[in-house]
């Protein structure tokens, strides 16, 4: 489960990680008791808000109030902003990165830190990031903290403050069953103090039963994801442009993998589940069309599902309202020949090989 920045910062505060003073607001009238300048930040469960215009600076209450009203209602890559965090701005002398996650291969927590903070960690070269495993069920060992302080080039007092934050972060990581805790940027202020200017926290859903306080926490869905949910269809919007409809979450993910192997990028993930009900298939295509993919990849493996029933649903959407992008179908299983014929007659590409279908999809994305 992903936490909003303001929620993550509440927890940071409780564990002794310094965070800026701030208030949550839904309108320009909500801000009181802050010193200026402030930063107004969109609360959406997606990074890169500053680039998208979701982080604004203000020198006075009037300016802040205007910034709040500008950001509320904004669409940040499909996410509607409904609340903002208004915080006293930190005077930045340097931005660092600090994160803890699980390294599944090593079966251990992994601490990562870099002196190149404030940018996406994926874009930081590997030799600029220090990675150290943390022995599970222990505290953060002093040698890791010494390595980190040295790697970051911190002075003695700075190293102490940094280490206290890293230790608190690891306590939080363990106690709250986190999968990822990240501070980017961890800021060193002009007064020589560290403060967590951003906060990212993801907790392990399997441990949710141990955290009654997290249950029912609202999750951001895009309007399309919300619509799909209300219709009982599993749909997730991603960063790419190719729409994927498959039956079963495993097959859908394998399809996304195959597409990226062939050089494409999935934009929507739609899992039909075990259904071959043409009505449901029609609904799925309607939702998919709203996401405006560059091409649709339909991957059906018919074990119990009848491929021709699925194809029938596709044909009905085409007859009733048209589909204005190319559809590539990979059909395998019960009644596959009938299904392929039906789809080919309707003008779609229909093949049995997953690999060929993925290649064709990437070729047709235009
Ligand atoms: P993100 O864009 O979603 O990662 O949002 P962040 O909270 O990380 O803010 C993006 C960037 O805005 C940071 O890397 C800083 O450079 C800048 N920023 C955010 N808060 C402050 C602040 O309090 N003071 C200053 N000077 N810059 C800030
Ligand atoms: Mn950030």
**Domain extents for the chain?**
21-88, 92-210, 223-364
> Does any ligand 1 atom lie closer than 6 A to the CB of residue 145?
no
Flag whether pLDDT at 223 surpasses 80.
yes
Please give the distance, rounded to the nearest whole angstrom, from the Cα atom of residue 337 to the centre of ligand 2.
51
Q: What is the residue-wise DSSP string for 17-61?
A: -----EEEESSGGG--S--SSEEEEE--S-S-TTTTT-EEEESSH
Q: Are 132 and 111 in contact (CB under 8 A)?
A: yes
The pLDDT score that the predictor gives to residue 242 is 97
Q: How far is the CA of 186 from the centre of ligand 1 (A)?
A: 10
Neighbours of ion ligand 2 (CB under 5 A): 184, 198
Whether residue 119 has its Cβ less than 6 Å from ligand 1: no
Measured from the CB, is residue 274 less than 6 Å from ligand 1? Answer: no
Check the CA dihedral 298-299-305-306 and report its sign. positive
Number of alpha carbons in the 13 Å side-chain half-sphere of residue 333: 19
Rounded to the nearest angstrom, the distance between the alpha carbon of 29 and the centre of ligand 2 is 26
Asked if 121 and 142 count as a contact pair (C-beta separation under 8 A), the reply is no
CA–centroid distance, 184 to ligand 2, in Å, is 5
The DSSP code for 204 is -
Q: Catalytic one among 97, 283, 359, 360?
A: 97
Answer positive or negative: Cα dihedral of 167, 172, 178, 181. Answer: negative
- List the residue whose alpha carbon is closest to atom 20 of ligand 1: 197
Q: Does the pLDDT of residue 136 top 90, yes or no?
A: no
pLDDT in tens, 244-289: 999 988 999 999 999 999 999 999 999 988 788 888 889 999 999 9
What is the topology classification, in CATH, of domain 21-88? Dna Ligase; domain 1 (3.30.1490)
Pocket test for ligand 1, best of 6, 8, 39 (most atoms within 8 A of CB): 39
Q: Cβ of 244: how many Cβ atoms within 10 Å? A: 30
The rounded Å distance from CA 281 to ligand 1 centre is 44
Which residue in this structure is represented by tokens 């091409």?
A: 295
Closest ligand to residue 58's CA: 1
* Cβ of 197 below 6 Å from ligand 1: yes
Cα distance between residue 178 and residue 102, in whole Å: 9
Counting ligands in written order, the one closest to the CA of 188 is: 1
Q: Is the pTM of this model over 0.85?
A: no
What pLDDT is stored for residue 102 in this prediction?
95
Q: Is 198 in the pocket of ligand 1 (CB under 6 A)?
A: yes
Class of domain 92-210: alpha beta
Active site residue 182: yes
Ligand nearest to the CA of 98: 2
Domains 21-88 and 92-210 share a fold: no
Domain range 223-364, its CATH number among 2.30.40.10, 3.40.50.261, 3.40.50.300, 3.30.70.260: 3.40.50.261
Lowest mean pLDDT among 23-27, 90-94, 320-324: 320-324
Tens digit of pLDDT for each residue in 1-36? 899 999 999 999 999 999 999 999 999 888 999 999
- 36 belongs to the catalytic site: no
Query: Among 166, 159, 164, which Cα is nearest to 182's?
Result: 166
- CA-to-CA distance for 204 and 214, rounded, in angstroms? 11
């Amino acid at each position: 489960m992903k936490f909003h920045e303001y929620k993550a910062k509440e927890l940071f505060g409780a564990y002794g990680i310094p965070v800026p003073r701030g208030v949550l607001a839904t309108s320009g009238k909500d801000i009181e008791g802050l010193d200026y300048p402030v930063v107004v930040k969109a609360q959406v469960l997606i990074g890169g808000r500053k680039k998208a215009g979701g982080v604004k600076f203000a020198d006075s209450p009037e300016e802040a109030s205007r910034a709040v009203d500008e950001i509320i209602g904004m669409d940040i890559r499909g996410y509607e902003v409904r609340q903002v965090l208004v915080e006293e701005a930190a005077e930045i002398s340097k931005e660092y990165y600090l994160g803890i996650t699980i390294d599944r291969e090593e079966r251990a927590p992994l601490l990562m830190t870099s002196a190149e903070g404030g940018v996406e960690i994926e874009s930081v070269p590997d030799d600029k990031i220090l990675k150290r495993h943390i022995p599970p069920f222990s505290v953060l060992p002093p040698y890791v903290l010494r390595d980190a302080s040295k790697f970051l080039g911190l002075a003695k007092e700075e190293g102490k403050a940094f280490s206290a934050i890293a230790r608190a972060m690891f306590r939080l990581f363990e106690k709250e069953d986190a999968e990822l805790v990240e501070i980017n940027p961890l800021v060193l202020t002009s007064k020589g103090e560290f403060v967590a200017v951003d906060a990212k926290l993801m907790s392990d859903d399997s441990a949710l039963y141990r955290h009654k306080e997290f249950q029912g926490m609202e999750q951001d869905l895009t309007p399309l994801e919300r619509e799909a949910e209300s219709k009982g269809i599993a749909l997730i919007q991603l960063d790419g442009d190719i729409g994927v409809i498959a039956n079963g979450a495993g097959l859908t993910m394998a399809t996304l993998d195959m597409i990226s192997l062939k050089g494409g990028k999935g934009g929507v993930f739609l899992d039909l589940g075990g259904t071959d009900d043409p009505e449901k298939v029609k609904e799925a295509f309607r939702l998919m069309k709203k996401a405006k993919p560059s091409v649709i990849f339909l991957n059906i493996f018919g074990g119990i599902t009848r491929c021709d029933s699925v194809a029938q649903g596709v044909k009905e959407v085409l007859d009733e309202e048209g589909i204005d992008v190319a559809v590539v179908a990979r059909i395998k299983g019960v009644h596959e020949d009938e299904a392929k014929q039906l789809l080919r007659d309707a003008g779609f590409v229909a093949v049995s090989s997953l690999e060929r279908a993925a290649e064709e999809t990437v070729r047709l994305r235009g």
